[in-house]
Amino acid sequence: MNYVATIGLETHVQLRTRSKIFCGCSTAFGAEPNTHVCPVCLGLPGAMPVLNREAVRLTVISGLLLGCRINGSSKFDRKNYYYPDMPKNYQISQYDRPLCLGGGVEIRTGAGPKTVHLTRIHLEEDVAKNLHFDRSSGIDFNRAGTPLMEIVTEPDLSTADEAFEYLQALKQILLYGGVSDCNLEEGNVRCDLNVSVRPEGSPTLGVKVEIKNMNTFKGVHRALTYEIRRQIDVKLRGGSLVQETRRWDDEAGVTESMRTKEQAHDYRYFPEPDLMPVVLDEATIEAWRATLPELPAARCERFVREYGLPEYDAGVLTADKALADFFESAAKASGNFKAVSNWIMTDVMRVLSERGVAIASLPLTAAALAGLVALVDRKTVNMPTAKEVFAELIDKGGDPDEIVKRRGLGQVSDAGAIEGFADQAIAAHPGPAAEFRAGKAPALQFLIGQVMKLSRGKANPQLAADVLRRRLGGGT
């Protein structure tokens, strides 16, 4: 029997707000433990939450970008359970009236594009962080109360590759929307995986296993690959699966059981009495809709249309918002779209991948790249010299015109100087000179090469050709 897998993801994304969701404490990462805290996010009795409007706006913006219906009337609920990192004994979340419903994410698969449908997006608070030392443990509440949106998919995914593609596509959209930094190293995106297997063609889904708290996309791919294999193996051996929660052991490369359904929490959700329902009128939602940024697919199309780029180049440039922004400002400043795109697609991207950095961390500015393109277009420098200027711009930044002047890299366009080089070349190579005079046009290329060499690559080649032709007689 052939088994197929079904996967649904629940992804927690940290929103880009300056303060926490229910208090004014900072969300900045990396501060001394327990310095960004107050009675609300410490969960002290009697402290009252106040909703951060920006967290609502960013969630709605995400929902609009993902094609969700926005719930004009949503509310918060208490999800009751006890953990040391959550001393209120409940997490404020949204249960039956989340902010966003439906929507979807387009992914590429081997069999063409596919829409991964979303069930919902709701807003909730993050918990604190347990830290374990040699002989003791501690809790850092800086993270407690950080606004998270939870994006839940329908069970629409069927392979580890598809789940990976989904997360990449989702991250790209959220970065474009500016709603989250999506910094995986800082735990901005964390994911629960729901996996089941069933015989191919069976209309009912199998028993699902949930793998908690994945924080890298590569880990998601490995965990799913392992878990799907494990479940199919159990089935093929005639065994049965139980609904359970498992954890991924990244070092061992296996999932292991944490708790089964019998030990599952009953969260006893009930409406949060300390917060008003969230009512959003049409006008507010429409005003937010009007601020939506252009998404990668639309931008790619526009780059082809507006800048005449090949589809492939437009796709590469728009895959990363910062890179697309960089291209666009350089292209606008330069006017030579194709040349700007060529520099970015080859030299800039090579440096980015060699150094493993983002465009923002290079000293090269869009204006400087436009300036470099202009130097080549005006024939002030030839391509090999332009690459030298580029190397300095990449390492130290600066102004290309200034670099050319300071380092004396400008092409020699002075007729007198080029005549000197031409005479030297003709004198040193009478053979080719005679050939050209006898009508062998290709001999000229050799002599131009000699002039370039004598000028150490700085002669304007067009001018060198003209001068040589004149010198060799005929003026042709």
171 near ligand ADP, rule: CB under 6 A: no
106 near ligand ADP, rule: CB under 6 A: no
123 near Zn ion, rule: CB under 5 A: no
152 near ligand ADP, rule: CB under 6 A: yes
CB of 31 to ligand ADP, least distance (A): 33
For ligand ADP, the closer CB: 10 or 423: 10
Tokens of 133: 């030392």
CB of 197 to ligand ADP, least distance (A): 9
CB burial of 429-468 (b: ≥16 within 10 Å; e: otherwise) equals eeebbebbeeeeeebbeebbebbbebbebbbbbebbbebb
For ligand ADP, the closer CB: 230 or 338: 230
Contact 96, 270 (CB under 8 A): no
CB of 226 to ligand ADP, least distance (A): 16
Provide the mask over 14-53, with x wherever binding to Zn ion is found by CB under 5 A and - wherever it is not: ---------x-x------------x-xx------------
Number of Cβ atoms within 10 Å of the Cβ of 176: 19
What part of residues 189-218 is at the interface with ligand ADP (CB under 6 A)? 194-196, 205-206, 208
Is residue 358 classed exposed, middle or buried when 0-12, 13-18 and 19+ CB atoms within 10 A define those classes?
exposed
For ligand ADP, the closer CB: 4 or 280: 4
For ligand ADP, the closer CB: 95 or 446: 95
Contact 201, 4 (CB under 8 A): no
Binding region for ligand ADP (CB under 6 A) out of 2-10, 50-58, 324-332, 391-399: 2-10
For Zn ion, the closer CB: 23 or 316: 23
155 near ligand ADP, rule: CB under 6 A: yes
195 makes contact, choosing from Zn ion, ligand ADP, none, with CB < 5 to 8 Å by partner type, with: ligand ADP
41 makes contact, choosing from Zn ion, ligand ADP, none, with CB < 5 to 8 Å by partner type, with: Zn ion
- Please name which of 444, 376, 367 lies closest in space to residue 409, comparing C-alpha atoms: 376
463 makes contact, choosing from Zn ion, ligand ADP, none, with CB < 5 to 8 Å by partner type, with: none
For Zn ion, the closer CB: 145 or 296: 145
CB of 254 to ligand ADP, least distance (A): 20
152 makes contact, choosing from ligand ADP, Zn ion, none, with CB < 5 to 8 Å by partner type, with: ligand ADP
For ligand ADP, the closer CB: 8 or 177: 8
For ligand ADP, the closer CB: 171 or 208: 208
Task: Determine the residue type at 360.
Answer: A
292 near ligand ADP, rule: CB under 6 A: no
For ligand ADP, the closer CB: 244 or 313: 244
154 near ligand ADP, rule: CB under 6 A: yes
For Zn ion, the closer CB: 56 or 472: 56
Report how far residue 191's alpha carbon sits from residue 248's, in angstroms, rounded to the nearest whole number: 12
399 makes contact, choosing from ligand ADP, Zn ion, none, with CB < 5 to 8 Å by partner type, with: none
Q: In sequence order, what are the residues at sequence separation of 6 or more whose Cβ sits closer than 8 angstroms to the Cβ of residue 27?
A: 14, 17, 18, 19, 20, 36, 146, 147
Contact 217, 252 (CB under 8 A): no
Q: How far is CA 37 from CA 8, 46, 55, 146, in A?
A: 34, 15, 18, 11
For ligand ADP, the closer CB: 9 or 464: 9
CB of 20 to Zn ion, least distance (A): 5
CB of 61 to Zn ion, least distance (A): 24
What part of residues 306-335 is at the interface with ligand ADP (CB under 6 A)? none
Q: In sequence order, what are the residues at sequence separation of 6 or more whose Cβ sits closer than 8 angstroms to the Cβ of residue 327?
A: 303, 317, 340, 341, 344, 366
91 near ligand ADP, rule: CB under 6 A: no
Provide the mask over 8-27, with x wherever binding to ligand ADP is found by CB under 6 A and - wherever it is not: xxx-----------------
Is residue 383 classed exposed, middle or buried when 0-12, 13-18 and 19+ CB atoms within 10 A define those classes?
exposed
370 makes contact, choosing from Zn ion, ligand ADP, none, with CB < 5 to 8 Å by partner type, with: none
- Total residues contacting ligand ADP (rule CB under 6 A)? 15
Binding site for ligand ADP (CB under 6 A): 6-10, 152-155, 194-196, 205-206, 208
